[in-house]
A = this chain, B = another copy of it.
Amino acid sequence: MLNSIRESPLYRIANPRSVVFFGASNNISAMGTNLLMSLQSAGFEGPIYPVHPREKEVLGLKTHERVLDLPEVPDLAVIVLPTGIVNKTVEECGRKGIRRAVVVSGGFREVGPEGAALEEDLKGIAKRHGIRLLGPNCLGVANPHHHLNTTFIPHEGPGGFIGLASQSGSFVTQLFDYLSRLGLGFSTAFSVGNEADMDLVDCMEYLSACPHTRVIALYIEGIRRGRAFMEAARKITPRKPMVALYVGGSDTGKRAGFSHTGAMAGPDELYSGVFRQSGVIRARSVTELFDFCWVLGGLPRPEGPGVIIQTHSGGPGAAAADSCGRAGLKLPPLSEDTVEALREFVPHTGSLNNPVDLTFSKNPDDFYSNIPRILIREKNAHVLLVYFLTPSQVVKRALGQMGLPHDQVEEQALKYADHQCESIKDLLRTENKPIVGYTFRSLEEPAIKGLIDRGIPVFSGPERAARAIAAIVEYAGCVHRVLNLQR
């Protein structure tokens, strides 16, 4: 384990003070140009030196003809050149004294024996010069906390708490917007490509030491260093949760992964065993990968698998109960104290079982404050799962009918949503038990977005919510198991 993040060979890749960039031009359909544009639009604060044999200026930046001409030794080289001139360029970087590189270019081991030979050459050159590199055939790194983004798509949304190490560059760059819509973001995300030098395990160690990272996500097509992976994961997981998506386990996934980065996949059950023994939570889809990160990084740990469901509709309640059961969670009955306390808030058509079903509630405030405050204190339960439905058009309709002038309806409806969301946030803060929501409304709806912005995960549908709760319950259990294994 690292004593400090600065000991990681990835430190100056994720936190360079200066970057030399190969392969950008003024041709906007070139890959390299797009990557440099992303770097610029991330607001990178250090100098960027494009190297170009002919252009005097690229995207407004002064170029140099050769890396050897640069006025300083940059911390990091980003290489987006045609395959044939990559190795020569790395050689020149080495002679300049550069010690960290991201090789974006493809055409290496993933295309067959000829490419594999090129990759061996690349490794030899790097080793001779003491260069540590990410790639080839990768997209490098996005570290929003350092205003760094070497990938294809401009970074959207603020930095967050998810550290990602990925054998797919797409999952680094193409999910910025996806995460941002969930109020999430990467702390640092690495695309490892062919892992000629540094691999998933190096990234895990970096992210384990990274203070911005609260949960580590892995996208895996095949693990190269099995023993090192398990050793690292066992040390990390008791302190920081890890979630892995492994796509090489089915025949179809294995073939696709092999032609993608040349990684050899193993049987599904083998990977399940590896994950289980090292405390890594396994996700079965990309959606789950980030759903699990959401709850694991954002919520307190539950003390058991008991869930209380709060709903004002029987159907969504029954669907959530079914989902919880299928995900291995428990729905404990309410204790007498809870039933007694709830009585004044629940009409005779409602249900004081679990799910707690309010049916129609005359005072919507109860749903956001009085009732969840009672439920979260239920001693038999460890997680509160709430069905959220406050369609803004219903709120606006009510405000309009109450005689509020037309031009104030919008603003008042937003204030009302804010007030409700704030109540739930207060509960999460003071009670220190996980609260999770589900809905069928758009996550952009003010009363939902307000919750998400305040750190309450709200899932589209009860199934995703139940699976995410099961993940956080499993993690709490894993921590005990891994700690026991180590004793």
Contact = CB atoms under 8 A, between A and B. Distances in A.
A474 interface: no
Given A260-B314, A349-B107, A461-B286, A442 B177 contact: yes
A384 B351 CA distance: 47
Identical chains bound together, number: 2
Nearest to A31: B360
B287 A460 contact: yes
A170 B166 CA distance: 40
B253 A28 contact: no
B322 A247 contact: yes
Please classify how large the interface on chain A is, using the bins under 10, 10 to 19, 20 to 34, 35 or more: 35 or more
A50 interface: no
A190 interface: no
Contact of A250 (B137, B177, B260, B326): B326
A255 B309 CA distance: 13
| Residue from A111, A153, A219, A286 whose CB has the most chain B CB atoms within 10 Å | A286
Contacts of A463: 284-287
A318 interface: yes
A264 interface: no
A259 B351 CA distance: 7
A259 B355 CA distance: 9
Interface of A: 28-29, 31, 34, 37, 41, 83, 106-107, 110-111, 137, 152-154, 156, 166-171, 174-175, 177-178, 181, 219, 221, 245, 247-253, 255-257, 259-261, 284-287, 309, 313-326, 329, 331, 348-349, 351, 353, 355, 357, 359-360, 362, 389, 391, 393-394, 397-398, 401-402, 440-442, 460-464
